[in-house]
């Protein structure tokens, strides 16, 4: 499985943007980039996913580098509720198998 590399932790101030980087230099052309987050004492929840183009939804934006070897999850205005562990995961496009391999993720702390 292609691996991802994320910083262990990041801090942000409330109402400021947060940019979470993810390196995936061994990504293949058929790998989706998925982001999940896990709030304290909760199961992971889906945030966003993309293949080649940048993606936006109500929770966040996903910016994918042109060579696809890295991506950035952007939280436009952090709130206290965004404090969580964020996981960047690769999943093969051609597979009907949706199982995800989680790393340690990035722990995001939001200061009031």
Stretch 51-90: interaction string toward another protein, x if CB under 8 A: ----------------------------------x-x---
Task: Give phi and psi for 45, each to the nearest 5.
Answer: -130, 145
Residue 112 in contact with another protein, rule: CB under 8 A: no
Q: List, in sequence order, every residue forming a beta bridge with 10; answer none if it has no partner.
A: 108
Nearer to another protein by C-beta: 58 or 99? 99
Nearer to another protein by C-beta: 16 or 45? 45
Nearer to another protein by C-beta: 36 or 110? 36
Three-state DSSP string of 67-91: CCCEEEEEECCCCHHHCEEEEEEEE
Q: List, in sequence order, every residue forming a beta bridge with 38; answer none if it has no partner.
A: 85
Residue 43 in contact with another protein, rule: CB under 8 A: yes
**Nearest-CA neighbor of 73 among 32, 25, 30, 17?**
17
Rounded to a whole number of angstroms, the minimum distance from the CB of residue 5 to another protein is 13
């Amino acid at each position: 499985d292609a691996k991802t590399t994320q910083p262990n932790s990041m801090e942000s101030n409330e109402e400021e943007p947060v940019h979470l980087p993810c390196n995936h230099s061994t990504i293949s052309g058929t790998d989706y980039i998925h982001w999940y987050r896990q709030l304290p004492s909760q199961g992971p929840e889906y945030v966003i996913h993309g293949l080649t183009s940048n993606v936006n939804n109500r929770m966040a934006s996903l910016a994918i580098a042109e060579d696809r070897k890295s991506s950035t999850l952007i939280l436009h205005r952090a709130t206290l509720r965004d404090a969580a562990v964020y996981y960047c995961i690769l999943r093969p496009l051609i597979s009907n198998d949706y199982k995800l391999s989680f790393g340690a993720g990035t722990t995001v702390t939001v200061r009031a």
